[in-house]
Structure 1
Amino acid sequence: MEKMTFVEYSVKDRICTITLNRPDKRNALNEQVVSELKQAFAYAAEDIDAKVIVLAARGSAFCAGADLAYLQQLQKNTFEENLADSNHLKELFYQIYTHPKVVIAKIQGHAIAGGCGLATVCDFSFTVQEAQFGYTEVRIGFIPAIVKVFLLRKIGEGKAKELLLSGDLISAEEAKDFGLVNKVVGEDELDGTVSDFAKKLVKKNSGQSMQFTKQMIAGVQEMSLEDGLNHAAEQNAKARASEDCQKGISSFLNKEKPSW
C-alpha cells in the first residue's frame, strides 16, 4: 500500500484500524482524504490478517465534513469537474456500505455533514456522549444528496427528513434514538467498548457468514418481495455447502466451539 498523509492503517489481533489523521482540520474531507480512505478500505478488503475494520479519527472531531478551502475550490469547478468529485465521494460511501468486512465507526467527537455520512454508512457506530451529529448542508445552500440514499435505508423517511431538512445538530443520545448510532459511552470507555465488540465479532462469528449477510442486507432492499425471498433461498442453499457452515454445524453437534 502506498504511503498516506492523512490516513493511518494498522492491524492487530485481526482487527484493522483505519484512522483519519488530519486533526488540525477536524479531519475534514477533501479529494486527497477521500482517495486515501478508498485506498485503505480497498487494501483492507484483501488483507487476510484483517477480519473486522474499525474507522477511527484523531483529535477532537471525528470528521467535520468538507473543509473550507475545498468548498471554495468547488465553486470554481465546471459541472463535469464537480460531477467527478461527487462520484469520488459516492464511491467511498458505497465502498464502505458494501465492504466485505464489517466496519465499526469509533466516534470520539463531532460528526458533521460528510463526517456524519461516514458514520451513516458504517455497519456499527459507537460514540462518546459529547459528540454531536447532523447534516448541515441546507444551511449553506448545499444538499445532502449522496448520504440521503444511505440514510433513508438506515433510519427511514420520516427521521431522515427531520435531520436533512432541518440541518439541526443533535446530541449523541438523540442520534442513538434516531438509529444513527448503536451505543453511547463515556469518553474513557470508548476504546474498550469498541475493542471488546470487535474482538467478539472476530472470535465468535464466521467472517464469511458476516460478509454474505451484510451483502444480502444491502442487496435485498432493491428487490421485490418475491425476488428477495428467491434470492434469500438461493443464498441459504449456497451457505449450507460452505466450508464455514459445515465446520460450524459440526462443532455445534459435537458441543465444541468453532475456531474462526
Structure 2
Amino acid sequence: MNNLVLYSVEDRIATITINRPEKRNALNPQLIAELTETFIRASEDDLVKVVILKANSGTFSAGADLEYLQQLQHNTFEENVADSNNLKKLFTTIYYLPKVVIAQVEGHAIAGGCGLATICDIVFATPESNFGYTEVKIGFVPAIVSCFLKQKVNETIAKELLLTGKTFSAEKALQYNLINYVTNSSEIHLTVKEFALNLCRGSSGNSLMITKQLINQTTNPLLEKSLEFAVQINARVRESEDFKKGITSFLNKEKINW
C-alpha cells in the first residue's frame, strides 16, 4: 500500500506530496491525519527552513472522496464535531507552522483541496489549474475555510465564491488575491524550488517565523473563536435534510433540484 503522504528534504526545503493519484488526491480522514502529522514533522525538523506542498498526478486535490462523504451521512453529531476538528487541526497546523509553506498547485483544487491552497503562505498555480469552494452545491457549508478566505480576499469576493460555489481559473484566482503566481506547468517545479531557495538563502529563519506569526495574529486575532463556531456549524449542517439530499444525489450522480 502506498503512503498517502510523501516527505523529503533537500537544500533545507521539505517537500510534502499528497499521494492518492488513483482518487485524484481526494481527502479522507486518513489523508487529513497523515498530512497533519507530516506538517508537524516538518515544523520540528531542524534541517528544514521552508515547506512546499504539492500533489502527485494532474490534480492538486478534488476535495472529499466519495467513501468519506458516504460515511458522513451516518455519523453522530459528536463524530461530526470530531471530524470537523480534525480538518481544523490540519488547517491551523499549516497556518501557524513556524516555517513558510508554499503551495504548488497543478490541476484542480476543489472544495477541501481549495481550502488547502488557501491557507498556505505563498501559492503558485499552473494556467490549467481550477479552483472552487463548491460545498453549497451539495448542501454543505465551507465553514472552516471561510475563516481563512476572508483574510485573503475582500468580503464581496468571498461571498461570491462561497455562495455560488463556482469554479474559477488560476488567472481569476490571481485577480482575487487568492494566489500569488501563475506559472507554466513545464516551469512550475523549478520556479517554486528557486523561490524556496531564495527564501532559505536570503532570509533569517527566525525572522521568517516571527513575521509570519505577526501577520497571522494581527490580521486575524479572532481566528480561534471563528474556527470553534465553524466546527459547530460544520457538524450541524451535516444533520440537515439538504445535506443528506445533496450527498445522496451527488453519490448517485443525479441532478440535484434545489
TM-score range normalised by the length of the shorter chain: 0.7 to 0.9
Match of 1:192 in 2: 190
Give per-residue Cα distances to partners, 1:10-67, cap 9 Å, x unaligned.
Answer: 0000000000000010100000000000110001011011100000100110001100
Match of 1:118 in 2: 116
2:157 corresponds to 1:159? yes
Match of 1:251 in 2: none
Native 8 Å contact 1:21 1:57 kept in 2? yes
Give per-residue Cα distances to partners, 1:94-141, cap 9 Å, x unaligned.
Answer: 110111000000011100000000000000000100010010000000
DSSP-derived class of the 2:57 partner: coil
Match of 1:60 in 2: 58
Match of 2:13 in 1: 15
2:216 corresponds to 1:218? yes
Match of 2:84 in 1: 86
Alpha-carbon distance between aligned partners in 1 of 2:142 and 2:2, rounded to the nearest angstrom:
28
Q: For 1:1-260, what aligned pairs fall within 5 Å after superposition?
A: 5-222=3-220
**Per-residue deviation at 1:223?**
5.2
Alpha-carbon distance between aligned partners in 2 of 1:222 and 1:88, rounded to the nearest angstrom:
21
**Per-residue deviation at 1:189?**
0.8
> TM-score, normalized by length of structure 2?
0.84
- The letter of the residue matching 1:112 is I
Relative to structure 1, is the Cα distance of residues 70 and 112 closer, same or farther in structure 2, using a 3 angstrom cutoff?
same
> TM-score, normalized by length of structure 1?
0.84
Alpha-carbon distance between aligned partners in 2 of 1:46 and 1:28, rounded to the nearest angstrom:
26
Native 8 Å contact 2:36 2:90 kept in 1? yes
- The letter of the residue matching 1:77 is N
DSSP-derived class of the 2:212 partner: helix
DSSP-derived class of the 1:187 partner: coil
Relative to structure 1, is the Cα distance of residues 223 and 96 closer, same or farther in structure 2, using a 3 angstrom cutoff?
closer
Alpha-carbon distance between aligned partners in 2 of 1:132 and 1:65, rounded to the nearest angstrom:
12
Relative to structure 1, is the Cα distance of residues 72 and 222 closer, same or farther in structure 2, using a 3 angstrom cutoff?
same
Native 8 Å contact 2:151 2:220 kept in 1? no
DSSP-derived class of the 2:187 partner: helix
Alpha-carbon distance between aligned partners in 2 of 1:95 and 1:185, rounded to the nearest angstrom:
27
Alpha-carbon distance between aligned partners in 1 of 2:149 and 2:62, rounded to the nearest angstrom:
18
Q: Please provide the CA RMSD for this pair.
A: 1.3
DSSP-derived class of the 1:109 partner: coil
Q: Percent identity?
A: 56
Alpha-carbon distance between aligned partners in 1 of 2:90 and 2:160, rounded to the nearest angstrom:
25
Q: Would you identify which runs of 4 or more consecutive aligned residues in structure 1 move more than 6 Å?
A: none
Relative to structure 1, is the Cα distance of residues 129 and 72 closer, same or farther in structure 2, using a 3 angstrom cutoff?
same
The alignment covers a number of residue pairs equal to: 222
Which sections of structure 2, spanning at least 5 residues, go unmatched?
A: 223-258
Match of 2:231 in 1: none
Alpha-carbon distance between aligned partners in 2 of 1:62 and 1:110, rounded to the nearest angstrom:
6
Alpha-carbon distance between aligned partners in 1 of 2:3 and 2:76, rounded to the nearest angstrom:
27
